[in-house]
Structure 1
Amino acid sequence: MTQQRIKLYQGSASPCSYLDNRQAVNIYADPHHPHPRAVYNQLIKKGFRRSGEYVYRPGCTHCSACVPVRIRCENFTPRRTDRRNLKQNNDLRVDYQPACFTEEYFQLYRRYLAARHTDGGMDNPEPEDFERFLLNPWGETLFVEARLDGQVIAVAVTDATSDGLSAVYTFFDPDHGHRGLGRYCILQQIELCGSINIPYLYLGYWVDGCQKMQYKTDFRPQEHFDGQEWIVTPS
């Protein structure tokens, strides 16, 4: 793939979503680049992520806690916890759909945010918020959906990139929280990587000290990006 010349822009500071009493700053790729998909394919290998149509990475001056993580899917072996999760959810039907807005997806998204992000500014979204955050006019995005008796109870928003899948976001029915649907969706994305013979599942950022990010360390073997290269973490 031809390397693209990419302009980067620094965003404004805002309260950190992961660590208390810290300010966060993001670096954004030029949103007006004529080949945004090629930019994404290039930058995800350098620790960038996607939110809506924007490609970004943390660029905090005095903090480097956000560590990009990817799973080496071809070497992944489910642990006992994973096997138990798959067995518990063997009554679900998994399918892959083109990313789109539907009322069914939106109502599930609203319920998830109301339960998980109360008073966080995301808990009462409009349809435009769903589309702006999860969909992407230039990318190749799919929804990995899990259904119980025909009703969708979990959706993993997944991007296809040149060397892997990128787990953008997962939302699920809070009434089925006991099923471990977040973990289940990661396992389904790993399986999809294997079925289409691509090596990596990008999980976004792991933040040491942030409890809600600790689950990412459960999936091994994995690699962390140190700013220059991807390094295999100890088992």
Structure 2
Amino acid sequence: MAEPVDAERARQLSLFRPLGASYYTSSVAVKPEHYGELIDRGWRRSGTLYYKQNLQRSCCPHYTLRLEASDFRPRRDQRKAINRWNKFVLGPEYMRKVARLSPRSRAEKKYRKCNFDLLAAVHEIEYENLKRPIDPGTKRALEPAHRFEVNIEGDSVSQAKFDLFLRYQMKVHQEDVSRWKIKDFQNFLCSGIKRSPASSTKKDGSEKKLGSWHQCYRLDGKLIAVAVLDLVPSGVSSVYVFYDPEYEQWEFGKLTALREIAFAIENQYSSYYMGYYIHSCQKMRYKGNYRPQYILDPESYAWDPLDGELSEKLDQKSYVSLSQDRASREGEDSKPTSALDPDVNEEELSLFDINMPGVLTRDEVKDLRLSQWYLLYHGTFVQMNDLVGWEDMPIDNPQSLRGIISELAAALGPSVVRNSAVVLFD
């Protein structure tokens, strides 16, 4: 279900929103499969606020990024980050004794020397997976230097998570933490998409997890990191990661990303979404180091490899649509490029007049038969054509109810419109 929001409400609700012009809506009842479709149309969320940026009207366009999980091959620096952390958790004494008491076979040593197994690397130091042979000297099972555990749980709020979040925001982002209350934290990172039974199953017959989850990292029983994940049928979407600054030297950004990719592979999610990619921002360029990455074309919604032609064009200009470039070269018709004056206030114009890439045209919206779209008002479902004067309302007037509903449909796309309802609040 979706509810249109105006720009002022968007500013109040969104704590972390993209720079530039964006279309906003809010919802507390988005299904995982619907959010998966929205991601593939350039949407992201912050709590219950959903937004889609107008890349042509933004100084720093935010491109949707997707990694094909099963094709991922970690770089040397990524492998090094895992190996360093693993050695820290296990400790030299444990590693030395296990090598002596429970040695690897020659074939296993040869394989590990020539290959890097991502799934094995992220799981082998988890306490429940450790080899713990009996130490002849103490007659006790060997213990690692640290007890490391990772579990995935619902996106619930807790004091431990909130305290960890405050330490992270204060040290890593230099924020004044007085702005954060536990309710703000809950709205931001504990108000995700609904967890629901999977519509598809894994090869072993078990159901996939869907919805919003927290992947929690604990060291010696202490919570040290939380990765906020949205799980949709097609993939794993990374929302946010926060960790104890005391462990910053261990490159937790890399560690959590690699573990999330491993989670996608072993649970048969085809894609891993790292969020928006801003080519002009050096702090965002690291996302391109997880390969092979694909960028969502803002106009055709095709996925283009980040490397090669696309990357070269992004070096030259901020807005790139390879589908539009190909159509122009071949003399085909394409949607017009926005010619609006940069100072024009988009809030005063219809979405159909600003040529926002990737939204439906007036004619395409008319084909959706919005008169039969359901509206939930005060607990009762009605169809749009039950509203007095619906047919007389102009579709391109952003101040009319039909205009607002039509813009929402244009931004959401036909599939979500067919399977959703609109909620109106007083």
**Interval containing the TM-score (normalised by the shorter chain):** 0.7 to 0.9
Counterpart position of 1:218: 289
Secondary structure of the residue aligned to 2:40 is helix
Letter in 2 for 1:126: K
Counterpart position of 1:160: 231
Contact 1:95–1:144 (8 Å) recurs in 2: yes
Counterpart position of 2:173: 117
Gaps of 5+ in 1: none
Counterpart position of 1:233: 306
1:76 to 66, 72, 84: 72
2: CA distance, partners of 1:224 / 1:122: 34
Q: Structure with the greater relative contact order (CA < 8 A, sep ≥ 6): 1 or 2?
A: 1
1: CA distance, partners of 2:55 / 2:259: 33
Higher helix share: 2
Letter in 2 for 1:185: T
C-alpha distance 183-207 of structure 1, shift in aligned 2 (>3 A)? same
Contact 1:112–1:174 (8 Å) recurs in 2: yes
C-alpha distance 164-137 of structure 1, shift in aligned 2 (>3 A)? closer
Secondary structure of the residue aligned to 2:304 is strand
C-alpha distance 30-36 of structure 1, shift in aligned 2 (>3 A)? farther
1:11 equivalent in alignment to 2:7: yes
C-alpha distance 138-205 of structure 1, shift in aligned 2 (>3 A)? closer
TM-score normalised according to structure 2 size: 0.48
Secondary structure of the residue aligned to 2:269 is coil
Matches within 5 A, 1:2-41: 11=7, 24-29=20-25, 31=27, 36-41=31-36
Contact 1:8–1:27 (8 Å) recurs in 2: no
Letter in 1 for 2:303: W
Contact 2:3–2:27 (8 Å) recurs in 1: no
Contact 1:147–1:153 (8 Å) recurs in 2: yes
- Offset of residue 61 of structure 1: 5.3
Residue-by-residue CA offset, 1:43-102 (whole Å, 9 max, x unaligned):
111121121022212225522621111111010011111111111222243221221111
2: CA distance, partners of 1:131 / 1:108: 13
Whichever of the two has the greater Rg, that structure is 2
Contact 2:62–2:276 (8 Å) recurs in 1: yes
Percentage of identical aligned residues = 28
Higher strand share: 1
2:188 to 109, 127, 133: 133
Letter in 2 for 1:104: A
Contact 2:64–2:276 (8 Å) recurs in 1: yes
C-alpha distance 101-83 of structure 1, shift in aligned 2 (>3 A)? same
Gaps of 5+ in 2: 90-147, 195-210, 309-426
Contact 2:229–2:240 (8 Å) recurs in 1: yes
Letter in 2 for 1:68: T
RMSD of the TM alignment (CA)? 2.6
Letter in 2 for 1:85: A
1: CA distance, partners of 2:178 / 2:62: 24
Letter in 2 for 1:205: Y
